[in-house]
Amino acid sequence: MCGISVIVALDQKKNLKNNIDVTSPHEGIVNGFHRRSVSEKLEESLDLLAHRGPDSRGQWVSEDSRVALGHVRLAIVDLSPNGVQPFHGMDGSIHAVVNGELYDADRIRADLIREAGYVFKGHSDCEIVVALYKQHGISFLRHLRGEFALCLYDSRAKYFVAARDRYGIKPLFWTYLEGKLLVASEAKAFLPLGWKPKWDVKCLMDDGWRHDQRTPFEGVNKVRPGHYLTCNAFGSIEMRQYWDLNFPNKVVADPRTEEEIVEGVRSRLLDAVRLRLRADVPVGVYLSGGVDSSAVAGMMCHLFKERGNKIGIEKGLERMTCFTIAFDEASGMDESRIAERTAQHLGVTLIKKYMNEEEIAKRFEDAVWHSEHQNYDLNFVGKFALSEAPRELGFKVVLTGEGADEVFGGYPAFLPDFLREPDHAWPYSNLTDEERQKQLTKAELVAAEFYKGRALKLLSHGDSLADRQLNNISSPASLASYTFPLFAPWTSSYGESDPCVTIANNVDGRVRERMLKKWHPLHSALYIWTKGNLANVLLACLGDRSEMAHSVEGRLPLLDHELTEYVNKAPPSLKIRYNKENGFSEKWLLREAVKPFIIEEVYNRKKHGYAAPTGWPRDGPLHKLFQRLVTRENVERLGFVDWSSVEDLVHKAFVGHNTVALRCTNVVAQWVVLSQRFGIETATPVPDST
């Protein structure tokens, strides 16, 4: 797990795709810098990524001074100097920097040695990238299994590739600046390279940062999950897809038995956990009160006992070690007691990270700096703090349970879409059509009330533009933000903004066709959440960014693509199970698969999303923090926020105890922090083009 920063000088005589205009001539020096200074600039960029890789760093500049690859390393597999990047091919023509972990690398390495006679420098899992490209060309991406972001340059073909893993677990950003293509693990790495941050106001209004490739920063984009960006002969930049989610035809019955499908999930999940225990450093696990992390911990413990894997045996830690966050029990958000009971059942060590209001307040600004985008909940600060615990005990790697809700159907918003159509793929369901219609009406009312209380607005659906494109599923509306009243009046010059339309527009036309004609509405909803909220929020500020801020690598077995491809084929009625006596059981297929590895309390427990408390006292640390951040001067410096809509928010949040006001205050405060830390220009009205 590491950080990368890359500079590529483009051919100014050719136009770039994606509506990027190139006007200045190429000066024949590396990316606008003299060769002597490019190394210094790249080093400054790597300094801002040092938290991602404190163990070593390296860089390479091509002979023609057009490509510069930089890397900071968190040493996990092959701790020797042989694992230091950039990696170079045997003949010196292929060069790569990789962030992440690639699993089953030993088997792939053996195949490449046998079939191609490839000679590896060391034993790093990431070194297989160069060898696979040499053997398979751009098709090498299909052979990678794990969490990764990478940049590769073929100097003979003058071909540059930047790619991101299938689910977007690892971040990868790019921008175009004065004839340079810049690519990095975090946007802050662009600052020493001449980037002057500006707000992308339209993106903020659209919720584009949350649902598509945009970021809060104008001109800075993400490489989409399951995609790769190419630059051929320093000419046009193109983005192409190499993998996507798929689901079966909703009218075709699944011929398998329930037991067969459950066992298939169990065996694949065990394999995913096993592969993620490969490390030359101690491996821990994050544990909450939910079925997801409990399943990972239970399976990890099972493998530990069965195979004798040496997990966590360092500095006297002779047992598997779990880490959990503990909020004030009176808040109703604390799950540490349940995690404690799971740890006792497994016979493993549990380390608690206690979080009170003061602890959240003092970490808030640093957590925002590392996230690089807003979050509606303070839970990201809790995850930021939790990631301190493994490093304090010498752990560089933790397994986590993220992704299960989007794969197995865990969120309340999914129930209406599960009920929207009959499930012809599973004719054994005891849910009659009459009961389905009745439960659908009830579920939509419950979901609307739930999301309204979380400062999200469940908009009316059924005849909107977004609804017509996405087969009338309601899940997109459950993701629509409630921040639009905060924007200054002049922002109307950007035109109308509807986050639901943003979500619909983010879906490929071929996929929209499948949603309309082929996929069950539940599967369409899973796709929407996976491509947007999971990749851009949960895997970012609640995943990589919080963990890597403390040099901790998170590994996500529940997003192993060989597992998820199998789960995606299962009928909706096995993901959300209906029982006349107990109602609906979310993630039923996962619960059944992991039942041997979790305690009964967790097996029977309803979904409780990870969230920070929403009730905080007047004149407490958070109240004082937000009073300091959300001032007229700071808000007006943003430029795009209407002060008259904001001035009473802090009072309403901490004196009136209004949850919606607290979430909106939280968002504005984060914008202020980003503005200050990044030095973002004040947004100004768009000049009249008439």
pLDDT at 31: 47
In this structure, is residue 581 part of a structural domain? yes
Domain final residue pick, 241, 267, 287:
241
pLDDT beyond 70 at 140: yes
307, 442: one domain: no
- The confidence band for 460, taking pLDDT boundaries of 50, 70 and 90, is very low
pLDDT at 333: 65
pLDDT beyond 60 at 439: yes
In this structure, is residue 98 part of a structural domain? yes
pLDDT at 475: 85
pLDDT beyond 50 at 25: no
pLDDT beyond 80 at 264: yes
Residue of 30 and 342 predicted with greater confidence: 342
- The confidence band for 20, taking pLDDT boundaries of 50, 70 and 90, is very low
298, 355: one domain: yes
349, 459: one domain: no
- Least trusted range by pLDDT, from 238-242, 389-393, 457-461, 621-625: 457-461
Q: Cβ contacts of residue 487 below 8 Å, gap of 6+?
A: 201, 204, 205, 640, 641, 642
Picking from 97, 278, 61, 68, the residue whose alpha carbon sits closest to that of residue 172 is: 97
pLDDT at 610: 67
Token digits for 208? 């584009």
- The confidence band for 614, taking pLDDT boundaries of 50, 70 and 90, is confident
179, 81: one domain: yes
In this structure, is residue 85 part of a structural domain? yes
Residue of 310 and 84 predicted with greater confidence: 84
The percent of residues above 70 in pLDDT, for the chain, comes to: 90
d(CA 583, CA 577): 8
Identify whether the C-beta of residue 326 lies closer than 8 Å to the C-beta of residue 355. yes
102, 38: one domain: yes
pLDDT at 572: 98
Residue of 28 and 142 predicted with greater confidence: 142
Picking from 405, 447, 688, 658, the residue whose alpha carbon sits closest to that of residue 542 is: 405
Picking from 292, 291, 300, 293, the residue whose alpha carbon sits closest to that of residue 270 is: 300
37, 54: one domain: yes
d(CA 309, CA 278): 9
- The confidence band for 450, taking pLDDT boundaries of 50, 70 and 90, is low
559, 592: one domain: yes
pLDDT at 315: 38
- The confidence band for 557, taking pLDDT boundaries of 50, 70 and 90, is very high
Residue in the block written with tokens 């629509």: 480
Backbone angles phi, psi at 640, to 5 degrees: -105, 0
91, 213: one domain: yes
Backbone angles phi, psi at 524, to 5 degrees: -65, -40
pLDDT beyond 60 at 32: no
Which CATH number goes with the domain that contains 582? 3.40.50.620
Q: For the segment 571-602, what is each residue's pLDDT rounded down to a tens digit?
A: 999 999 998 888 899 999 999 999 999 999 99
Identify whether the C-beta of residue 9 lies closer than 8 Å to the C-beta of residue 179. yes
pLDDT at 28: 42
Identify whether the C-beta of residue 295 lies closer than 8 Å to the C-beta of residue 269. yes
Q: For the segment 467-520, what is each residue's pLDDT rounded down to a tens digit?
A: 889 999 988 888 877 666 899 999 999 998 888 899 999 999 999 999 999 999
In this structure, is residue 614 part of a structural domain? no
324, 355: one domain: yes
Bridge partner residues of 238 (DSSP): 230
Average pLDDT score over residue span 411-437:
94
Other CB atoms within 10 A of residue 585 CB: 18
pLDDT at 686: 77
Average pLDDT score over residue span 186-202:
97
Residue of 400 and 454 predicted with greater confidence: 400
Three-state SS for 374? coil
Average pLDDT score over residue span 672-685:
97
- The confidence band for 456, taking pLDDT boundaries of 50, 70 and 90, is very low
Q: For the segment 52-90, what is each residue's pLDDT rounded down to a tens digit?
A: 999 999 999 998 889 999 999 999 999 999 999 999 999
Other CB atoms within 10 A of residue 443 CB: 21
Provide the domain limits for residue 265.
Answer: 258-407+537-604
In this structure, is residue 564 part of a structural domain? yes
Identify whether the C-beta of residue 7 lies closer than 8 Å to the C-beta of residue 153. no
pLDDT at 319: 63
Token digits for 582? 């107990």
509, 573: one domain: no
- The confidence band for 326, taking pLDDT boundaries of 50, 70 and 90, is confident
Q: How are strands ordered across the β-sheet holding 553-555? A: 349-354, 321-326, 283-286, 397-399, 553-555
pLDDT at 332: 58
Q: For the segment 34-46, what is each residue's pLDDT rounded down to a tens digit?
A: 666 889 999 999 9
pLDDT at 316: 35
Question: What length is written for the chain?
Answer: 690
pLDDT beyond 50 at 29: no
Q: For the segment 343-356, what is each residue's pLDDT rounded down to a tens digit?
A: 999 999 999 988 88
If you average pLDDT over every residue of the chain, what do you get? 90
Q: Cβ contacts of residue 31 below 8 Å, gap of 6+?
A: 7, 8, 9, 38, 66, 68, 179, 180, 193
In this structure, is residue 235 part of a structural domain? yes
d(CA 658, CA 664): 10
DSSP codes, 166-188: TT--S--EEEEETTEEEEESSGG
Picking from 166, 168, 86, 73, the residue whose alpha carbon sits closest to that of residue 127 is: 86
37, 169: one domain: yes
pLDDT beyond 80 at 311: no
Average pLDDT score over residue span 263-292:
95
- Catalytic residue set: 2
In this structure, is residue 253 part of a structural domain? no
DSSP 366: H
In this structure, is residue 13 part of a structural domain? yes
Number of domains in the chain: 4
Residue in the block written with tokens 């794969």: 407
321, 363: one domain: yes
The percent of residues above 90 in pLDDT, for the chain, comes to: 78
Picking from 627, 509, 596, 641, the residue whose alpha carbon sits closest to that of residue 244 is: 509
Domain final residue pick, 533, 562, 593:
533
Domain final residue pick, 209, 241, 273:
241
pLDDT at 176: 95
DSSP codes, 11-78: -TTS--STT----SPP-SSGGGS-HHHHHHHHHHHHHTTGGG-BSEEEEEE-TTS-EEEEEEE---S-
Residue of 242 and 21 predicted with greater confidence: 242
- Least trusted range by pLDDT, from 153-167, 356-370, 426-440, 455-469: 455-469
